[in-house]
Chain A
């Protein structure tokens, strides 16, 4: 099977500091792949490189067989990659509906946009109630739904999720995990998930990579990594508070 997304040995630098060092990642069509690791390990930088917000100084990124490394962010969206940025970054002074319509910016099929909006409101009934409200007035969890919904409105083939559980209550994290699974299984969208909540990430993904200081430290099937001693100790924090905030999906 050919890879949908293939990252080959990319280096990314911020100023002179090397943020990524020869990172290679592969994601096949239909997969959910998780990227876990500590703060500053390079997870978000990897996503920024994929969606065109950071330029690799070496290596190659290909999507669906074609190189995308040199493209602008808006050109990469047009290829079928949508990103849910860390911290949600919804438009606070726009209505929920306008936020969602921004996600469909590149689409011209009015009927398709309208029916996708309806489908989205079935998935997130709470957003329907708040359609005309300014998005900045929503709760954190609702804002995360707006951010995910906005990305889905582009009908992406690959969805990049950057820390979707950050700052959310455990109940809301379970909800996000459920949404990730349903987007993948029902809509057939491939997903690259960056998470500090490693337990949740490993539970919803097929495969995972662990990043440490800008390099891939470990990779494997998520089920294996969940039971891997090293991973348990380093990323799942067995015995400390993080485990109790984990998801039992």
Chain B
């Protein structure tokens, strides 16, 4: 019981990084980033490569993953999403493009990192015991880094000038241009941050769950579940959704046959969305 709670919290904290990135890209650019799971996977593989093949410390690998994914996000925004969004007013165009980028990224990962499942050994050794639950020190480390990153992200969004500009764009693009904000530059920044958060999550969770090149889509689906649960485009909503999913998974795997867990989660999600389509914190449509 306690063990499932601890596992769920560790999972939820890292899921929150994934959901925050996805909700950020959605609210800034109105783009559903279907490649978000692949970005997560790429973050995991970069971490594996830097730690194992290059033999560099784990912290270097984390920074490399964030930076690598920020570059991927920037390239996607500049060369793919920007021209398409400028030329087409139809939402299907950006959705098709996003689906395409997911396939593209998945193929590139397969090409460069192969089809093998990859993980890295625990970064720190030792186990804490808290109230009957065992927490490996490496999980505690991942939890703390994720928590610190989320707090840093929220402080950045709330109290800094660029953070304010990003919130402003999410609320009203045109009027934000009238305040002197270069919308395209800040959209690119938002895409970089969103992708970077996915990379960070991949880098942290690979110490707990190994990655393979084909798992991106299921991560994307999870990310969309979290965002739908919490309410699209709402920062606290993404965090709530992430913890709900993380805890549901951890308790499900602990107490019921694992094949049943996601069946129950999806049925629960469908029922929840019928009752409250806008999510926990989302605004009702229209």
Contact = CB atoms under 8 A, between A and B. Distances in A.
Interface of A: 51-53, 72-74, 77-78, 82-83, 85, 89, 91-94, 98, 101-103, 105-106, 150, 154
B179 A105 contact: yes
B172 A73 contact: no
Interface residues of B, number: 17
Contacts of B172: 89, 91
Given A94-B167, A94-B168, A105 B181 contact: yes
Given A91-B168, A94-B167, A98-B164, A103 B175 contact: no
Interface string B137-174: 00000000000000000000000010011011001101
B165 A105 contact: yes
Nearest to B184: A72
B164 A73 contact: no
B261 interface: no
Nearest to A107: B180
A52 B175 CA distance: 11
Given A101-B164, A102-B164, A105-B161, A74 B180 contact: yes
A103 B179 CA distance: 5
Contacts of B164: 94, 98, 101-102, 105
A51 B175 CA distance: 11
B272 to A, nearest CB: 24
Interface of B: 161, 164-165, 167-168, 171-172, 174-183
A10 B245 CA distance: 56
Contacts, number: 61
Contacts of A154: 179-180
Contacts of B180: 74, 77-78, 105-106, 154
Contacts of B183: 74
A98 B157 CA distance: 12
Most chain A Cβ neighbours within 10 Å, of B176, B178, B182: B178
B171 A85 contact: no
A77 B171 contact: no
A132 to B, nearest CB: 12
Nearest to A83: B178
A36 to B, nearest CB: 23
Contacts of A52: 177
Given A85-B178, A91-B172, 14 more contacts: A53-B174, A72-B182, A73-B177, A73-B178, A74-B182, A74-B183, A77-B178, A77-B179, A83-B178, A89-B174, A91-B168, A94-B168, A94-B171, A106-B180
Nearest to A77: B180
A72 B177 contact: yes
A51 B178 contact: yes
A81 to B, nearest CB: 9
Contacts of A72: 177, 182
Given A98-B164, A101-B164, A102-B164, A93 B179 contact: no
Given A74-B182, A74-B183, A102 B168 contact: yes
25 contacts: A53-B177, A72-B177, A72-B182, A73-B174, A73-B177, A74-B177, A74-B180, A74-B181, A74-B182, A77-B178, A83-B178, A85-B174, A89-B174, A91-B167, A91-B168, A91-B171, A91-B172, A94-B168, A94-B171, A102-B164, A102-B168, A103-B179, A105-B161, A105-B181, A106-B180
